[in-house]
Amino acid sequence: MNHLFGKEKFGRRLVWSAAFLSLFCGNVLAQDSTRVIIDTNAVTVAEKPVRSGIFHRVAQDGVNTFHTIVKAYARPLHWQKRDVLRFGGALAISAAGLLIEKELYAFTQRNQTPALDRLERVGFRLGQPQLNYPIMLTLWGSGVLLNNDWLRDTGIMVIASVTTSGLIQTASKEIFGRPRPNTGLGNVAFKPFGGPAYHSFPSGHASLATATFWVLAKQVPYVPLKVVFYALPIITSASRIYVGAHWLSDVFLGTALGIAFAESVVRLYPLVKANRAISVKVTPVGLLVNF
């Protein structure tokens, strides 16, 4: 069993899959270097011709990623009524999970099988930073080397989405201090800054997997691929309940965070890229970046 689902082998397979996806989608969706078209609610953004050179592309992407993350964090300051209602709805759904999550946890503990154990390991690794960051860096790095806008844009959006949601959920775990189901302390006990045993709320795996694959689903044009990318975070969320690492309300809120930041990044990044240009010059003392 271990030789089929070993962490290193599994990670290598997924990274190679990401590389294949990068080249496949990059070739299919390759764009003229004078334009970038990002499908976000039918918004098309046209830009000035892209300067050649890996150093320039890396510097440009670093600046765009930083500003996208900053704007994503500032997004709640510009919420409209519908955004507040959506946030309230996400909290309400998470709270509703309190009503059934103890019974659901008991049910999963009584109905574990070898096949479900293997599926749980898959879901666990899909939400691991050790897997997600190689995927996003493979996408972005391939785009930089091949000067392919689609790959670069997709990689940047995944990086920004995962980073913003990741910092929020990490801080929330410490602040709320909710015990994990397998500690036997119940679902309404809290001990802020209580350590790993109190890192249940929200689910980081659910948040990370959703933040990653939601962006990929938005970026690919093929319905079968969209379905796959939307389904993968569900496997991750279910696996965290199955193994007793998180309550149902934990994965609800983790998923909501992943979706919220993924949607924000997909909407904000095209605007950031369209309105921000930089110049890079090589000088005797190093690189001079103006933006």
- Taking Cα atoms as reference points, which of 198, 230, 224 lies closest to residue 212? 230
- Taking Cα atoms as reference points, which of 207, 130, 127 lies closest to residue 161? 207
What pLDDT does 250 receive?
A: 95
List per-block mean pLDDT (blocks of 10 residues) for the chain, which spans 291 residues.
45 50 44 38 42 80 93 85 85 91 94 94 91 89 93 95 91 93 90 91 94 95 94 95 94 94 94 72 51 49
Determine the longest span between alpha carbons in the chain, in angstroms. Answer: 68
What pLDDT does 55 receive?
A: 87
What pLDDT does 159 receive?
A: 95
- Distance of alpha carbon 236 from alpha carbon 259, whole angstroms: 14
- Taking Cα atoms as reference points, which of 73, 67, 50 lies closest to residue 150? 50
Cis peptide before 270 (omega within 30 of 0): no
